Structure 1
Amino acid sequence: MVRGPSEYPDLWAFLESLRRGELLAGTVTSIERFGVFVELDDGPDHPVFPGVGFISFAELSWRRFEAASEVVRSGQRLSCEFLQFDTWNLEARLSLKATRPDPLLEFADTIAVGQRLPGQVTELVPFGAFAQVADGIEGLVHLRELAWTPVETPSDVVNPGDKITVVVTEIDRERRRLALSRRQASSPGG
């Protein structure tokens, strides 16, 4: 069901008046498995949802989390950046993480390609392993960079929780990626 300006004129006018990047204040009204609803201080009530503002999981935090309740709590006051007017749901799509510094970019300012770092394996994926190298900062150790000898699956050489030493092989600020090598941090055959 497409909702037009004639159905909820006050809500539509409010949402159309918002500009990308604008900071909006509000209160978390509901934490759902698909995101967080926010009642905006200056906005009208929503006819269906518990708030006109909505933050998707991807826009909650720069850091990895399992549940939205690790980042926000019901009743919490927030300041969020407006991303876009969702004309289908008649809601303001918001970003909480946009109001905070990106920890990966801050970390990237303190390291260099070729630098050795201690790490801890956090997750195995078919193409490699993710390793945490600082609080909330993870990088990918690609399968070919896990060992000097060919590796079929990451679990052949590492497991979650393992402490490893890695070398930074790439810092991609634009795509927010940190590439690491366990192989380059060790000697061949070791």
Structure 2
Amino acid sequence: MTEPAPDPLERLRERLAAFPDGEVRTGTVAGFGERGDVLVQLDGDDPQTPTGSIPRHLLSWAAFEDPGEVVSVGQRITAEVFGVNEQSGHVTLSAKACEDEALYGYLRSKQRGDVVAGTVAAVLNFGVFVRLDGEPAHPAYPGTGFVRIPELTWSRIDHPEEVVRPGQRVSGEVIGIDTYQGEVVVSLKALQEDPWDALTAGTGDVVTGPVTKVISFGVFVRVGEAAEGLVHESDLDGRAVHEGQELTVRIVEIDRVLRRIRLAPAG
């Protein structure tokens, strides 16, 4: 009697359970793929066929031209599970995540909600690197902590340098651990008061505040500590307005879910 074919979904569930994301596994380098991937014979897995692979961008923090410069066939390797292919059950691994033991251990010692402190190491147009207190030297970046632009402040900004500068001491809350980049993702604004919690003005109120930004379709006006509302250009009737100018406006609508305030000139 012929045995029924294995259920592919059940096989996938078994693979996902056996190789959860973030788990560290060991194996032996079995060869190299056509695209520069490193093929891995995972311990405890199919002894006949390599069922793990390390994409070249997840192999090492060091620069290299050929993966053979970093590893060789038969070499033992430790890597983090980065995912399981839903069709083949093949396991994608990151050796880079585990390459620097001190960095990996430091990342794993942090949890969401932890409060960390450090010194701003670099201010770039896409975010801020922070050298966290007690961190090991990062193999590629000026600091292990990273603050994305939306997590710097509740206020509207054009560039991170409006908020922080190199050498400045900062504190923030850990909102993620990114072993892919080797970073502790930090939010500075998580420790700041949300201006929307302090917003007491309501629909119909008339307030006066500075123009914080002039854009093609209107102007933003601060109506609270850091909350801002938009006056659409169609409501300005061609009136010239510049940043920093005090403008008296009426609150037309407040959407606390989307954090939007619609304004109109008061007179």
Return the TM-score normalized by structure 2.
0.57
Encode CA deviations 1:84-110: one digit per residue, 9 max, x unaligned: 12232111111111111022331x1x2
Tell me the residue number matched to 2:27: none
CA distance in 1, matches of 2:170, 2:201: 32
- Residue type of the alignment partner of 2:206: R
2:193 is the counterpart of 1:101:
yes
RMSD between aligned alpha carbons? 2.4
CA distance in 2, matches of 1:42, 1:82: 15
Q: Compute the displacement of 1:66 (Å).
A: 4.1
Encode CA deviations 1:48-76: one digit per residue, 9 max, x unaligned: 11111011222111123344333223222
CA distance in 2, matches of 1:143, 1:69: 29
**Structure number with bigger Rg:** 2
CA distance in 2, matches of 1:143, 1:159: 10
CA distance in 1, matches of 2:142, 2:118: 12
Q: Compute the displacement of 1:140 (Å).
A: 0.8
CA distance in 2, matches of 1:22, 1:68: 23
- 1:30-41 to 2 correspondences below 5 Å: 30-41=122-133
Tell me the residue number matched to 1:171: 254
- Residue type of the alignment partner of 1:159: V
CA distance in 2, matches of 1:164, 1:32: 33
SS of 2:138's equivalent? Answer: coil
CA distance in 1, matches of 2:117, 2:212: 35
Q: Which runs of 5+ in 2 are unaligned?
A: 1-56, 59-93
2:96 is the counterpart of 1:13:
no
- 1:121-136 to 2 correspondences below 5 Å: 121-134=211-224, 136=226
Identical-pair percentage: 40
2:242 is the counterpart of 1:160:
yes
Greater RCO between the two (CA within 8 Å, min separation 6)? 1
Return the TM-score normalized by structure 1.
0.77
Q: Which runs of 5+ in 1 are unaligned?
A: none
Q: How many residues align?
A: 174
Change beyond 3 A, Cα 1:170–1:78: same
